[in-house]
Chains A and B, each alone.
Chain A
Amino acid sequence: MSAAHGGSGSSSGAGPASVGPRGGVALDLAALRRTKPTSRLLRLSIVLLGLLVVWAWTAGDFDFGDLVSERRAENVRRFLGEEITPYPLRETGFDQAAFVEWAKTLWDERGRRGVAATLSIAVLAIALAGAMALLLAPLAARNLATARPFEFGAARAARGPGWRALTTAVRALLVLLRAIPEYVWAFLFLAMLGPSAWPAVLALAIHNSGILGKLGAETIENLEARPLVALRDAGATRRGAWITAILPLSLARFLLYFFYRFETCVREATVLGMLGVVSLGYWIQDARSKHYYDEMLFFVALGAAIVLLGDLVSAAARAVLRRAR
């Protein structure tokens, strides 16, 4: 690389520390190198992440020998060769009519209901989450939850202890809501409420209101202050400003997040059924426990299809929003 230098083949330690350009002012490269701005945090993080990866793979939690053992291979062979073949086709080989018949029966008996339930759970949950987040977000936004909203600098720092406690408490609540996975929430609610769609709906709604509340608060905090200060100075009350200005201003962005989270809700609603709620996941779990892996695969594929559907709906809605903006 630096073969240009007569004898010094390696790049380290080659050349004098100080370079004399045009023979004039000497630029002290070594001094520059010493004062090179580096981020210890970034370097440390990279090293730490590298070590974490090495440690994770070598800590002894993974048995690769077992993974490639004859028993596992036999399992996979049976699974792929036999178990996932639709039941009526196992003897006869592929027969389109029989396959369609099989799929149609599954769809009519369980699939349709499962799909409808999954989508409904997702829609109801995200609507509830959105409503809850709209209530929580203004309380968590530091520029709004204060005696004189939309002041910056010194005035902003001088928020009263009451307001400060309120935002802190709301923010802590939001952290708790979103840090606990929806699956765990659903597990808990199921034990309390018994089997209905509500545990899944509530679990998704709670987890997502934590996320949407945080994102909504950030959106409000990032609002441009000037028009809002003007509004306040014109005598608008806090609630008046919220309804006439802040909500409309931040709604477009909030709705973008809303639809991103809706995609996630569709994914999760499928899976939450595995706990015993009648969404697609229920039928997946049902087929799994009976070792009807052909049916299980059918419902997993159905789940993938409605996830795609959810993504398309969300993308379309976001396109409308972007155009409206």
Chain B
Amino acid sequence: MTAARRDDAPPGAFGFEVRRASVVYGPRRVLDQVDLAFAPGEVVALVGPSGAGKTTLLRLLNAALAPTEGVVLATGPSGAVQLDRATPRELRALRSRIGFVHQDLALVPNVRVLQNVLHGRLGRQGFVAALRSSLFPSRAEEEAAARLLDRVGIGEKLFQRTDTLSGGQRQRVAIARALYQEPAALLCDEPVSSVDPARARDTVLLLTALAKERGFTLVVSLHDVRLAREFFPRLVALRGGSVWFDRRTAEVRPSELEELYRLERVELLADGS
């Protein structure tokens, strides 16, 4: 099944368009009138202090969240789909092509790495097929998962129980699971927040290399501006739920970034008193 999927996987990457989208929780405007567009195949970093709305924006893009106001569109080769108007079937099809690496990884800890990787394909399987491949993975599925794990550098962990892996290795599993979706877009929420600096660099390098190699759209939220500047051609800075700036990395002045986080410090001081 896996090998066949390679051929019929739609070639194009997804683009996203966010039009005047706001997300309101009670009195809090987590996102406020955000206008953004991500072209198919683009590689973008979301930066900004914590609480700026990065996670919320990512969750809008895979329709885990519907905007309170405004519109979110996903554009694929077959046209644009408005996420909050999509039928469950459309939504499922769409989501099965959008990989999401969660900040807390969201793996099932007490099954093998193999099973966690195979979970990436659940969006395109019925229940019976899903149960079968989870309980009795076929050789082809094992090979496909092994190939992906090898690509992210932990091929030898294929049959290990997931909770025996280190934090960095588990993160690779989460990435492999997303890759197994054959994603048209990959969204990563603070993928390096829980690993040491050297590993963080490796992970970001891996993600951007994979995006180039497989041609999917990559949107990564990052707290670390240095990594963002080093690996991403475009930076979108969020602050307080609004777009602070949105530029080619080369055009971003260091002073602007300093200001982005200086304001955070001021806010923290203000909150603390």
Q: Which residues of A contact B (CB under 8 A)?
A: 1-5, 11-15, 19, 21-22, 25, 27, 29, 32-33, 35-37
Residue of A1, A11, A32 touching B159 (CB-CB under 8 A): A32
Q: Which of B65-73, B145-153, B182-190 contacts A (4 or more CB under 8 A)?
A: B145-153
Q: Are A4 and B155 in contact (CB-based, < 8 A)?
A: no
CA distance in complex: A65, B121 (Å): 49
Q: In the docked arrangement, what's the CA distance between A4 and B1, Å?
A: 5
Contacts A21-B151, A21-B155, A27-B155 given; indicate if A32 touches B146 (C-beta within 8 A).
yes
- Chain B residues closer than 8 Å to A5, beta-carbon distance: 3, 140
Pick from A14, A35, A36, A37: contact of B139, CB under 8 Å: A14
Which residue of chain A lies nearest to B129 when distances are taken between CB atoms in the complex?
Answer: A1
A21, B142: Cβ atoms under 8 Å?
A: no
- Give the CA-CA distance A11 to B155 in the complex, in Å: 21
The answer to whether the Cβ of B226 comes within 8 Å of any Cβ in the partner chain is: no
B159 contacts A4, C-beta separation under 8 Å: no
| Complex-state Cα separation, A258 to B179, whole angstroms | 50
Q: 18 A–B contact pairs at CB < 8 A?
A: A1-B1, A1-B132, A1-B133, A4-B3, A11-B138, A14-B139, A15-B140, A19-B146, A21-B146, A21-B150, A27-B150, A29-B142, A29-B143, A32-B146, A32-B158, A33-B142, A37-B160, A37-B161
Q: A5-B3, A37-B161 are in contact. List 20 more A-B contacts (CB 8 A).
A: A1-B133, A2-B138, A4-B3, A4-B4, A11-B140, A14-B140, A15-B139, A19-B143, A21-B150, A21-B151, A25-B150, A27-B150, A27-B155, A29-B143, A32-B156, A32-B158, A32-B159, A35-B159, A37-B159, A37-B160
Instruction: Tell me the interface secondary structure of chain B in the complex.
Output: helix
Chain B neighbourhood of A27, CB < 8 A: 146-147, 150, 155-156
Shortest C-beta distance, B189 to chain A (Å), equals 27
Given A2-B1, A25-B150 in contact, is the A12-B139 Cβ separation under 8 Å? Answer: yes
A2 — which chain B residues lie within 8 A by C-beta? 1, 138-141
Evaluate contact between B2 and A4: CB separation under 8 angstroms: yes
A3 to B2, CA, bound (A): 9
| Chain B hits for A35, CB < 8 A | 159
The residues of B with any CB-CB pair to A shorter than 8 Å are: 1-5, 129, 132-133, 136, 138-143, 146-147, 150-151, 155-156, 158-161
B138 touches A1 (CB 8 A): yes
Closest to B4 in A: A4
- B139 touching A11, Cβ below 8 Å: yes
Q: How far is the CB of B201 from chain A (nearest CB, A)?
A: 22
Smallest Cβ-Cβ distance to A19: which chain B residue: B143
Which of A3, A14, A21, A36 contacts B147 (CB under 8 A)? A21
Q: How far is the CA of A25 from the CA of B3 in the complex (A)?
A: 20
User: Smallest distance from the beta carbon of A30 to chain B beta carbons, Å?
Assistant: 10
* Residue in chain A with minimal CB distance to B7: A4
Query: B143 contacts which chain A residues (CB < 8 A)?
Result: 15, 19, 29
CA distance A297 to B5 in the complex (A): 63
Q: Which of B133, B136, B158, B159 has the most CB of A within 10 A?
A: B159
Tell me, in angstroms, the Cα distance from A19 to B139 when the chains sit together: 11
Residues of B within 8 A of A15 (CB): 139-140, 143
Which residues of chain B are within 8 angstroms of A32 by Cβ–Cβ distance? Answer: 146, 156, 158-159
Q: Which of B139, B140, B151, B161 contacts A22 (CB 8 A)?
A: B151
Chain A residue contacts of B5, Cβ below 8 A = 4
> How close is B214's CB to chain A, nearest CB, in angstroms?
12
Complex Cα–Cα for A5 and B138 (A):
11
- Alpha-carbon distance A27/B5, docked complex (angstroms): 22
Is B140's CB under 8 angstroms from A36's CB?
A: no
Contact A33 B138 (CB under 8 A): no
Distance, CA A54 to CA B158, complexed state (A): 35
- Distance in angstroms between the alpha carbons of A14 and B141 in the assembled complex: 11
Closest residue of chain B to A12 (Cβ to Cβ) is: B139
Q: Which 3 A-B pairs have the closest CB atoms?
A: A4-B3, A11-B138, A4-B4
Q: Is the CB of B159 within 8 A of A33?
A: yes
Residues of A within 8 A of B139 (CB): 2, 11-15
Considering the chains assembled together, what is the distance between the CA atoms of A25 and B150 in angstroms? 9
**Chain B residues with Cβ under 8 A from A4's Cβ?**
1-5, 140
Collect the chain B residues with CB atoms within 8 Å of residue A37's CB.
159-161
CB pair B1–A3 under 8 Å, yes or no, is yes
Q: Which of chain A's residues have a CB closer than 8 A to the CB of B132?
A: 1
With a cutoff of 8 Å between Cβ atoms, the chain A residues found around residue B151 in the complex are 21-22
Q: How close is A16's CB to chain B, nearest CB, in angstroms?
A: 9
User: Whole-angstrom distance between the alpha carbons of A11 and B143 in the complex?
Assistant: 11
Chain B residues near A36: list those with CB within 8 A: 159
Inter-chain contact A3/B150, CB cutoff 8 Å = no
Most chain B Cβ neighbours within 10 Å, of A5, A12, A14, A25? A5
The distance in angstroms between the C-alpha atoms of A62 and B146, with both chains bound, is 50
Interface-centre pick from A1, A12, A36 (highest chain B CB count, 10 A) = A1
**Contact residues in A for B159 (Cβ distance below 8 Å):** 32-33, 35-37
Closest CB of chain A to B38's CB: distance in Å? 28
When distances are taken between beta carbons in the complex, the residues of chain A under 8 Å from B158 are 29, 32
Please give, as numbers and ranges, the residues of chain B lying within 8 Å of A29 by CB-CB distance. Answer: 142-143, 146, 158
B212 to chain A, nearest CB (A): 14
Given the complex, which residues of B lie within 8 Å of A1, measured CB to CB?
A: 1, 129, 132-133, 138, 140
